[in-house]
């Protein structure tokens, strides 16, 4: 009836997007389907008769045409297209240490430098010369080299140690590299093999109608992350007028190398990712940024995870590794990229927003966000419909072809990606859209460059809209847009989508490590697609505003470049420690950070050690360093044998007779796990060693904030004295809990902290207490 009277409407619906990726490992099979397998080979076993490892592999294991990549820097071995029977046969060779199927992964999709505490001509930006001569490798979707963010104006010569190249391909020549973008490569062999033989999920191959067989970015994600990490100062930057101002990366003078491993609409394959790690490290990068992850809520063991393996090889050679925590929050145990040699970055908001409002027919005004930049509704009230009333899930989620044009045409519609829902509404004739969160995402909002007037609202406002529609005989609404607002409080807030702890592989290691800006981030964009990334979006924009832990990760990559430039001798672990121990846990109201999904105080399962604070990270006072041998001891402690560890470390190892404890890895955070089966008072001790990187003669004293509810914490000694000859000091933290009356918070933990201070520096480590259920 309403459709006859009102030929125009606003659509309202619920956002329920989940990323589900298949976990695949090698199993014996009679299946003769050809797949890509990755083999880890003991490089020391090569017979001397073969001039190279490639000759050995192509003679003893697989035909040359089957071999896709040969790995020789962060990993030793090869990938090849084989049947499961052939792969199982190769695995019988004593020189082959491990084999696993190629696996499909996905991307974890301007005021932020100031929000991190960076200021012109002072502090870390000036002391590191804006990151000049540090090289950041970006493993992503490639790069759009013509953007102003990648100008080499006034940059010095390319560092002499650089060994990389500018690979040529479709619409990409060596001339596209310069003194800023010093290298670019693309990796497609695993991807193309999946297309020929049918890879995981049936995805693979390069669609050359939308892609470039070259380092050129057809997706936008890689250009965005590269410019977030190290974009040059760019004036008059905005996305259709939103976030107008000067855009710049965290390390504006750092050099960039783009490694294209992900392809538009079809993800990224492990075999290609591992090849990019191998090449990036041999090329000479100092930092690797990888905003990629995968899994279906189950993380692969480290020895079956090429990102973990490639990252270990990089870190062991002094390369800092920044990775995204994943976008499957706010669910517990949703954090990805868990290896302790990776720096795992969650996402927080910044103090900038793009407000929009839904005005209901009864006068109520509901707050939301939007980046819509087209013709406004000018206050006109339109009929309001909710397709979910039909109780058809596809309609309530505005899936393709799910909406009845007779119901939707000319209306505002309320509850696939968020912008794709708008396209569905627009195709069906709707004039606007209200996008409401499901209950799990709570009030967490991100802006989108919608194709029609649209506003995202939280779960509570969504319930209000639904209630209004069901109780009104003639529901109407309009949407207004408020542009850009800065100085928003509170900020930072932990983004509802940000991957959460606990660590599903090694719960003794707290993950994520920290959070960084990851909501509504302005950075450079490709010319190949519009700001929504939809094929039907013909708009062009130099910059785009995106959200995700993908955006948080390159903030830490840029930060690492600044720290590496200011402190060239610091190890990757020392750089991470500097960020973690100086991170902030309060917002701009000086109150404990909150969780966007609940509005309640956040915990270390949400933010790790806290929010990146670069002003303080430059001069942390003390650092928790970790050597390659420490990581080997950690792998021994979690039950890996020498052969399994060699898959990761490349070199044979021997585990000590007395098994180490994983919680004694010299990590900047402390995770105290008590068995749920124990009764009575139980204690756990943690050994840590700090290295003085501040004034030579320093005295640090301990300050403890014990977790509440019957838990006591002791530290011995309580004073650390450093001198010219004493640069390292060790201490023991003992956590005691009465498990009979241990009361944990809603997230399953309680927490406090240990801070070492010399009067100037404060070196803070969270102490998190939880119970571990026996399997």
Could you give the angle at which helices 221-230 and 549-566 cross, rounded to 10 degrees?
Answer: 30
Least Cα distance to 534 among 346, 307, 265 occurs for 265
Catalytic residue, from 188, 353, 550, 597: name it: 550
Question: What is the spatial distance between Cα 77 and Cα 54, in angstroms, rounded to a whole number?
Answer: 9
Annotation says 606 is catalytic: no
Annotation says 555 is catalytic: no
Ramachandran sector of residue 593 (left: φ over 0; alpha: ψ -120 to 50; beta: rest) = beta
φ, ψ of residue 4 in degrees (nearest 5) = -70, -40
Question: What is the spatial distance between Cα 765 and Cα 705, in angstroms, rounded to a whole number?
Answer: 10
Ramachandran sector of residue 652 (left: φ over 0; alpha: ψ -120 to 50; beta: rest) = beta
Ramachandran sector of residue 565 (left: φ over 0; alpha: ψ -120 to 50; beta: rest) = alpha
Question: How far are the Cα atoms of 164, 493, 759 from residue 460, in angstroms, in the given order?
Answer: 52, 18, 46
Q: Would you state the torsion angle of the CA atoms of residues 545, 551, 555, 556, taken in this order, to the nearest 10 degrees?
A: 180
Q: Which residue has the tokens 């090329």?
A: 283
Question: How far are the Cα atoms of 110, 128, 395 from residue 222, in angstroms, in the given order?
Answer: 17, 25, 33
Question: How far are the Cα atoms of 161, 182, 283, 611 from residue 157, in angstroms, in the given order?
Answer: 11, 10, 16, 34
Q: Kindly write down the DSSP assignment for every residue of 183-239, as one continuous string.
A: EEEE--HHHHHHHHHT-GGG--S--TTT--SSSB-SSSHHHHHHHHHHPPPEEEEEE
Question: What is the spatial distance between Cα 278 and Cα 663, in angstroms, rounded to a whole number?
Answer: 30
Strands 728-738 and 711-716: antiparallel
Alpha-helical (H) ranges within 338-458 are: 393-396, 405-408, 418-427
- Provide the 3-class DSSP secondary structure of residue 480: strand
Least Cα distance to 387 among 408, 409, 416 occurs for 408
Question: What is the spatial distance between Cα 723 and Cα 378, in angstroms, rounded to a whole number?
Answer: 69
Residues in the chain: 775
Annotation says 550 is catalytic: yes
φ, ψ of residue 567 in degrees (nearest 5) = -135, 75
Catalytic residue, from 69, 76, 176, 221: name it: 221
In the sheet that 35-41 helps form, which strands lie side by side, from edge to edge?
67-71, 77-82, 35-41, 96-101
SS3 content of the chain, % helix, strand, coil (to 5): 25, 30, 45
Strands 292-293 and 135-140: unpaired
φ, ψ of residue 71 in degrees (nearest 5) = -110, 135
- Cα dihedral 232, 235, 240, 243 sign: positive
559 and 250 Cβ atoms separated by less than 8 Å: yes
- Provide the 3-class DSSP secondary structure of residue 166: strand
Least Cα distance to 537 among 452, 435, 633 occurs for 452
Catalytic residue, from 140, 272, 587, 758: name it: 140
Could you give the angle at which helices 572-581 and 549-566 cross, rounded to 10 degrees?
Answer: 110
Which residues are tagged catalytic?
140, 221, 550
């Amino acid at each position: 009836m309403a459709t006859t009277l009102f030929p125009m409407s606003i659509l309202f619906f619920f956002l329920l997007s989940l990323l589900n990726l298949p976990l695949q490992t090698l199993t014996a099979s009679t299946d003769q389907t050809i797949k890509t397998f990755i083999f880890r080979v003991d490089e020391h076993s090569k017979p001397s008769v073969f001039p190279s490892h490639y000759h050995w592999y192509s003679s003893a294991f697989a035909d040359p045409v089957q071999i896709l990549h040969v790995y020789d820097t962060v990993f030793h071995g090869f990938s090849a297209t084989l049947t499961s029977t052939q792969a199982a046969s190769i695995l019988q060779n004593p020189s082959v240490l491990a084999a696993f199927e190629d696996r499909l992964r996905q991307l974890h999709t301007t005021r932020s430098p100031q929000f991190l505490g960076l200021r012109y001509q002072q502090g870390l930006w000036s002391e590191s010369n804006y990151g000049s001569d540090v090289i950041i490798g970006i493993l992503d979707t490639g790069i759009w080299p013509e953007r102003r963010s990648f100008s080499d104006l006034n940059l010095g010569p390319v560092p002499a140690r650089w060994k990389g190249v500018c690979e040529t391909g479709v619409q990409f020549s060596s001339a596209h590299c310069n003194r800023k973008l010093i290298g670019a490569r693309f990796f497609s062999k695993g991807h193309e093999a999946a297309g020929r033989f049918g890879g995981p999920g049936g995805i693979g191959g390069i669609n050359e109608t939308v892609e470039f067989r070259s380092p050129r970015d057809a997706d936008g994600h890689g250009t965005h992350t590269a410019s977030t990490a190290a974009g040059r100062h760019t004036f008059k930057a905005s996305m259709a007028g939103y976030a107008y101002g000067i855009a710049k990366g965290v390390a504006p003078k750092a050099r960039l190398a783009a490694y294209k491993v992900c392809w538009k609409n079809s993800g990224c394959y492990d075999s290609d990712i591992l090849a990019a790690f191998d090449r990036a490290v041999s090329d000479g990068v100092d930092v690797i940024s990888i905003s990629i992850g995968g899994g279906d809520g189950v993380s692969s063991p480290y020895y079956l995870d090429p990102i973990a393996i490639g990252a270990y090889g990089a870190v062991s050679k002094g390369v800092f590794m920044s990775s995204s925590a994943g976008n499957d929050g706010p669910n517990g145990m949703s954090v990805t990229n868990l290896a302790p040699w990776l720096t795992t970055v969650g996402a927080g908001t910044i103090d900038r927003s793009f407000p929009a409002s839904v005005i209901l027919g009864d006068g109520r005004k509901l707050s939301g966000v939007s980046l819509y930049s087209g013709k406004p509704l000018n206050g006109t009230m339109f009929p309001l419909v909710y397709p979910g009333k039909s109780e058809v899930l596809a309609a309530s989620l505005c899936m393709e072809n799910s909406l009845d044009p007779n119901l939707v045409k000319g209306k505002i519609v309320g509850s696939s990606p968020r912008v794709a829902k708008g396209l569905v509404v627009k195709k069906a004739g709707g004039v606007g859209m209200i996008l409401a969160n499901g209950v799990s995402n709570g009030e967490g909002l991100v802006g989108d460059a919608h194709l029609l007037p649209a506003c995202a609202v939280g779960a509570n406002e969504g319930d209000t809209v639904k209630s209004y529609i069901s109780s009104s005989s003639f529901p109407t609404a309009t949407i207004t847009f408020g542009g850009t607002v800065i100085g928003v409080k509170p900020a930072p807030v932990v983004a509802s989508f940000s991957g959460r702890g606990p660590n599903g592989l090694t719960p003794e290691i707290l993950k994520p490590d920290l959070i960084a800006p990851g909501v509504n981030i302005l950075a450079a964009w490709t010319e190949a697609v519009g700001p929504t990334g939809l094929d039907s979006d013909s708009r062009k924009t130099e910059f785009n505003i995106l959200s995700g832990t993908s955006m948080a990760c390159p903030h830490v990559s840029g930060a690492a470049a600044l720290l590496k430039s200011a402190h060239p001798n610091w190890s990757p672990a020392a750089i991470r420690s500097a960020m973690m121990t100086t991170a902030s846990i309060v917002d701009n109201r000086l109150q404990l950070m909150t969780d966007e999904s609940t509005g309640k105080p956040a915990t270390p399962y949400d933010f790790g050690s806290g929010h990146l604070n670069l002003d303080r990270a430059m001069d942390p006072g003390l650092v928790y360093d970790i050597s390659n041998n420490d990581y080997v001891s950690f792998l021994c402690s979690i039950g890996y044998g020498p052969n399994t560890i060699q898959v990761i470390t490349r070199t044979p190892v021997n585990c000590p007779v007395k098994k180490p404890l994983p919680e004694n890895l010299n990590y900047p955070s402390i995770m105290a796990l008590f068995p749920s089966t124990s009764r009575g008072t139980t204690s756990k001790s943690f050994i840590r060693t700090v290295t003085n990187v501040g004034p030579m003669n320093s005295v640090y004293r301990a300050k403890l904030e014990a977790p509440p509810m019957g838990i006591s914490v002791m530290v011995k000694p309580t004073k650390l004295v450093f001198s010219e000859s004493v640069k390292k000091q060790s201490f023991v933290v003992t956590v005691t809990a009465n498990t009979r009356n241990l009361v944990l918070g809603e997230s399953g933990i309680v927490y406090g902290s240990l801070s070492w201070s010399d009067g100037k520096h404060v070196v803070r480590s969270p102490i998190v207490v939880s119970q571990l259920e026996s399997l």
